[in-house]
Chains A and B, each alone.
Chain A
Amino acid sequence: EVVLTQSPGTLSLSPGERATLSCRASQSINSNYLAWYQQRPGQAPRLLIYGVSSRANGIPDRFSGSGSGTDFTLTISRLEPEDFAVYTCQNYGSSPLTFGGGTKVEIK
């Protein structure tokens, strides 16, 4: 099973700042099958990125994904008020599907 470790657990930033979130896999993820989701309290999770770097429909270009092998990054170039949320990575390159523990981006 691929274990995904996200860091930091919490990121305290101000609107307009850049956010860099890390997702590290316990083994190489096949074909770069890694996705990122955003979860706001009380709302449905939202797909942001799939295939490491492809933005889902309607996702603003301030969100970008990068990485390969075991190390992946989600970058939010300039934080908007609605971006303060929990971000979770997902491995879908091998069974079982696994998710990381999440990084909370909070307002500083």
Chain B
Amino acid sequence: EVQLVESGGGLVQPGGSLRLSCAASGFTFSNYCMNWVRQAPGKELEWISYISPSSSPIYYADSVKGRFTISRDNAKNSLSLQMNNLRAEDTAVYYCAGDLARSPRWFFDLWGRGTLVTVSS
């Protein structure tokens, strides 16, 4: 079955760090572009980061640039998001989203169910 499964969410204090993971299965992960998209409570979906199949280039939304780092391990079919200096406004469900093409098309064919990150003291 083609799927993405996120993990690593939880409660963290402001200024803290958290690392999210996304396990891919059922497709050739190393061939495709991957992204993280988040949705804060009651808000629209927000794209936050992109990584190419080869890990270069990488892009970030301005809201997370300098604080979040996306990476991938093609040998392990895994995508990660290291989140540092977390703020209350980072509270959201974080989705792993696949753009199943070798070059970005910027829409997302495959999504995980998401993992909830709550930033609160």
Contacts and interface: CB of A to CB of B under 8 A. Distances in A.
Interface of A: 4, 33, 35, 37, 42-47, 50, 56-57, 88, 90, 92, 96-102
Contacts of A97: 47, 106
Interface residue tally on B, bucketed by range:
10 to 19
B45 A47 contact: no
Interface stretch (B12-20, B24-32, B74-82, B107-115): B107-115
A98 B44 CA distance: 8
Contacts of A43: 113
Given A92-B107, A96-B47, 18 more contacts: A33-B106, A33-B107, A43-B113, A44-B113, A45-B45, A45-B95, A45-B97, A45-B108, A47-B107, A47-B109, A57-B109, A88-B45, A90-B107, A96-B61, A97-B47, A97-B106, A100-B44, A101-B44
Contacts of B61: 96
B4 A92 contact: no
Contacts of B46: 99
Given A45-B95, A97-B47, A101-B44, A56 B113 contact: no
26 contacts: A33-B106, A35-B107, A42-B113, A43-B113, A44-B113, A45-B45, A45-B95, A45-B97, A45-B111, A46-B111, A47-B108, A47-B109, A47-B111, A50-B107, A56-B109, A88-B45, A90-B45, A96-B47, A96-B62, A98-B44, A99-B44, A99-B45, A99-B46, A100-B44, A101-B44, A102-B44
